[in-house]
Structure formats: structure tokens, C-alpha cells
Structure 1
Amino acid sequence: MLTRAITGFFFIAVLIGAHLLGQVVFVSFFSLLGLWCLYEFYGIVRKEEVKPMIFLGILAFAVLSGLIALHCLGVIPFIKVWLFIPFFSLIFILALFQKRALPFNDIGYTLLGITYAGIPFLFFLALGFIKGNFNYYIPLGFLLILWSNDTGAYLAGRSFGKRKLFERISPNKTWEGFIGGVLFAVAIAFNLEQYFGSLTKWEWASMALIIGVFGTLGDLVESMLKRSLGVKDSGHILPGHGGLLDRFDGLLMAAPLVFLFLLMIA
């Protein structure tokens, strides 16, 4: 328990620091997090019948995240982001030379990893630039809301939890915990307008609703993935917490939808 608490404290400090140290550190750090989560995904799905092309998958995502980062920093126009396409084509071409019985299993899981574990981090780092210039308040607020949702769900679930949410996937999650998490996230979001600005109260609250609902569903999706593969944790990089994919499961579903919401109301 002590190890978990110490790891959690330093992990949160590093995440906050990545926001405060400027746009270059911010985009670099969260691009690397996406790469590591992709690596963890490939590690847990790799079986005899499924062998994702780890090197090419990571290379393709590294090129894509690098181009997105350069665009966010104002170095290249968005049109040049499409230069990533040949690297994705190589995934299909390499399968021709591997002589695998089920090559599209390998191709499918390679691309699924990029889509599921990597690309959501690009939407998250794009939140820092959605107003034009770099503004760390929005992505930092996203994380604070996400953590508030987890905290509220845990407290409400322990105090009032009776009705199971998805028992076959996560036996400990309850409807009471889910509702408590969303309400606590919205309550925190209302206060972010006072301290962070950047968005109006209703925009922060709407963002909290998206994170509360889809962050929880993202957690359940990752639990479903691990349960189907028979693994407990996605990795061991965080003592007492498991892997990075375990810690960012809520972000994977919520970040693209929050970005889309803010884009639509801009």
C-alpha cells in the first residue's frame, strides 16, 4: 500500500510537471506515453496465433505522433501530417514476406494497437492547442476531472455500492459508484472555471460529463481486454499500479470525444 501511494504521488507530480514545463516538454512527454502504452498493448496481445509487427507499429505511430507534435508546435502545416501514410502501408507489405498462417491477425492487432492505445494520446496533446496557442489548463483540467471521477466513484461505490455495473467484466464497479464519480467530476469542473478560466462553467461541466461517462467505459473496455487475454496488468513500470495502459484507460475513450466536443463549440 505504501509503495502504491508513493508511486502515485510521484506519477501525478511528473504529469503535472509535464504541463507546466512548456509546450515542447508537454508534446514530447505525452507522445512518449502513447508509444509506451502501444508497446504494452503489443506485449499483452502477443501470442502464437497473434504476432503484431511491434517494430513497424511503433515506428508508424512514432512518425505520426512526431508529425502531429510538429504541427501543434507550428513547425509544419497540417497537410504534411499525411506523410505518415507510407509507414502504415509498410505494415501490410511486410506481412507478404512473413509467411504467417493468419497474416491479417497480425496486421489487425498492429493497427488496433495504434488506434486504441496510441492515437488517443495525440487527441489529448491536441487539447493543449485547441484554442490556438499552447494552453496547458485544458489538458491539465482534463486529468484533474478524470482523477476526480475515479476518486468519486471509489468513495461512492464503497459507501453506497449495491447494483453491479458490468459484473462479468469488473465485479467491483457499481451504478452508485458510476453516478457518484460523474457527480464529483462535475462538481470539481465547476470550480475549474474560477481557477483555470479557458472555458465557461457549462463547457467545463460538459467536459466532466463526457469524461465521467466515457472514462468509466474506457476503464471497462481495458478490463475486458485484459480479461479476454487472461492478464492482470498491462505492465509493471509503475510499482503497485501496473502498467501505463492501466493508468490511462479512461483517457483512451474520453480524450478523442472531449477534443471533438471542444472543436464543435469553438
Structure 2
Amino acid sequence: MRTRAITGLFFVIVVLASIVFNAYLFTGFFLVLNACCLYEFYRIVGDANGKPNALLGLLFGVLAFGVYGGYQLGDLSPNCLLLVIPLAALVWIVPLYQKDQDNPFTGIAYTFLGVIYIVLPFVSFLSLGFLTGAYNYRLPLGFMLILWGNDTGAYLMGRFFGRRRLFERISPKKTWEGLIGGILLALVVSSVLALYYPVISVWQWVGMALLISAFGTFGDLVESMLKRSRQVKDSGSILPGHGGLLDRFDGLLLAAPVVFVWLKLLLSLQTVN
């Protein structure tokens, strides 16, 4: 328990510092997290029935995230994203020369699935920092605080008051009481953020909290479904007492794209009006 607490505290400090310090550190840090989570995903899904091309998938994911981040920072042209096209073609071509691939299309599907499941959400999260134009750490910071608030509320309420199972087939420990506790604490966090960070309105912060609670929970369940289908307890062991990085960011994977699209549409409508 002590190791878990120390690791968790250190990790939270590092994540928050990377967001608040400056745009370059934010982009670089989440580029690394993106690559690590993608690697963990490939490690989990690969088996005798089909193995993803982890090297090409990682190159694809790092290049796509890096170029997009460079574009947001104003250092690269969006045309540089065209560089991912040859890598995408190689994902299809390389299995032709791999004699040990009994199910090549399964491996190809796993490779591209990793990009969709991991890279796209991290790119969406990165975009939150640039949603209002120049880099503004408040939205990605708020996202993480709300997500952690939801997780903390769900854990505490579920542990002390949990009775009714939410999704026993996938995650036996999750309860409806935990879900409610997560939503309530996420709403409290969003209300505090709205008070100190009026970069978006109060109701937009509240809506953001509700989306994060809902889709963050689904993201957690989806990763649990993945691990259960592969009979894996943790996605990795890089964080003592916590498992892998994918275990810590599973809620972000479904919540970040939804929150980004929602805020993007709202801010676009405000601009038009």
C-alpha cells in the first residue's frame, strides 16, 4: 500500500507538471505516454492467432502524434502528416515477407486497432491544450483532475457503500454506488475549476464532467474487457503497485475524443454567433 501511494503521488506530480510547465513539455511527455500505452496494447493482443507489427505500429503512432503536436506548436506543416501514409502501406506489405504469420490479416487489424484505440485518444487530449488557439493548460489540466476525481469518488463510494454490481461480467468490483460517487466528485471538481478557470462556462465544465464520468467509466470497462479476454491482470508493471500506463489512462481513451468533439462544436458555435 505504501509503495502504491508513493508511486501514485509521484506520477500525479509528474503528469500535472508536464501539463502546466509549457506546451513543449506537455507535447513531449504525452508523446512518450502515447508510445508506452501503444506498446502495452500490442503486447497484450499479440498471440499465436495473430501478432501486430509492433515496430511499424509504434513508428506510425509516434510519427502521427509527433507531427500533429509539431503542427499545433507551430513548428511543422500539416502536410508532414502525409509521412504516415507510407508507414500505413508497409503495415500491409510486410506480412507478405513474414513466413511465420499464419493469420496476417489479424496482425494487420491489431496494428491499426492500436492506432485507433490509443493514438487517436491521445491526439484528442493533446488538442484540448490548443482548443482556444495558443496553448492553454487549463482544459487538459481540468480534464485530468475531473478524470481522477471521478476515479477517486468511484473507488471510495464503491468500497464503503458498494452493493449493486455495475458490470459484473467484465469488472466484478464496480458498483452503481461507485458510479454515482464518481459522478458526484467529478461535478464538485468541475465546479471548482469553473470558479478558478473561466476559460469555458460553468455549464460547459459541468457537461465536461458528465461526459468524462460516463465515457471514462466505459473506457475502464473496455480495457477490463481487453485484459479479461487475454487473461491478463495488468497491462504492464512500469508503475509499482499500479500496473501499466494503459491501466492508468484507460478512462482517457474513450473520454478524450468525446470531450474534444463536444467542446470543439460548442466553441465553434460561439464563434459563429
Which TM-score bucket, shorter chain as reference?
over 0.9
Structure 2 partner of 1:166:
167
CA contact (8 A) 2:20 2:141 kept: no
Is the partner of 1:129 in helix, strand or coil? coil
Q: Structure 1, unaligned stretches of length 5 or more?
A: none
Report the alpha carbon displacement of residue 82 of structure 1 after superposing the two structures with TM: 3.3
Report the alpha carbon displacement of residue 79 of structure 1 after superposing the two structures with TM: 4.2
Structure 2 partner of 1:107:
108
Q: Distance in 1 between matches of 2:89 and 2:189?
A: 44
Report the alpha carbon displacement of residue 80 of structure 1 after superposing the two structures with TM: 3.6
Equivalent positions of 1:183-198 (< 5 A) are 183-198=184-199
Is the partner of 2:157 in helix, strand or coil? helix
Question: What amino acid is aligned across from residue 17 of structure 1 in structure 2?
Answer: A
Q: Distance in 1 between matches of 2:66 and 2:191?
A: 34
Question: What amino acid is aligned across from residue 133 of structure 1 in structure 2?
Answer: A
Q: Does 1:239 align with 2:240?
A: yes
What do the CA deviations read for 1:49-84 (whole angstroms, capped 9, x no partner)?
Answer: 221101111011111111101111012343442332
Structure 2 partner of 1:152:
153
Q: Which range moved further: 187-196 or 208-217?
A: 187-196
Is the partner of 2:173 in helix, strand or coil? strand
Equivalent positions of 1:18-33 (< 5 A) are 18-33=18-33
Q: Distance in 2 between matches of 1:229 and 1:47?
A: 9
Structure 2 partner of 1:124:
125
Is the partner of 1:173 in helix, strand or coil? strand
Q: Which range moved further: 182-191 or 135-144?
A: 182-191
Q: Distance in 2 between matches of 1:93 and 1:263?
A: 37
Report the alpha carbon displacement of residue 226 of structure 1 after superposing the two structures with TM: 0.2
Report the alpha carbon displacement of residue 156 of structure 1 after superposing the two structures with TM: 1.6
What do the CA deviations read for 1:230-260 (whole angstroms, capped 9, x no partner)?
Answer: 0100000000000000000000010000100
Structure 1 partner of 2:251:
250
Equivalent positions of 1:22-171 (< 5 A) are 22-99=22-99, 100-171=101-172
Q: Distance in 1 between matches of 2:116 and 2:8?
A: 27
Is the partner of 2:25 in helix, strand or coil? helix
Q: Distance in 2 between matches of 1:175 and 1:243?
A: 26
Is the partner of 2:37 in helix, strand or coil? helix
Is the partner of 1:165 in helix, strand or coil? strand
Structure 2 partner of 1:13:
13
Query: Would you say how many aligned residue pairs link Structure 1 and Structure 2?
Result: 266
CA contact (8 A) 1:71 1:81 kept: no
TM-score (norm 1): 0.97
CA contact (8 A) 1:37 1:245 kept: yes
CA contact (8 A) 1:36 1:244 kept: yes
Backbone CA RMSD of aligned residues: 1.1
Q: Distance in 1 between matches of 2:261 and 2:80?
A: 21
Is the partner of 1:239 in helix, strand or coil? coil
Structure 1 partner of 2:3:
3
Question: What amino acid is aligned across from residue 83 of structure 1 in structure 2?
Answer: L
Question: What amino acid is aligned across from residue 219 of structure 1 in structure 2?
Answer: D
Structure 1 partner of 2:271:
none
- Structure 1 vs Structure 2: percent identity of aligned residues? 53
CA contact (8 A) 1:210 1:254 kept: yes
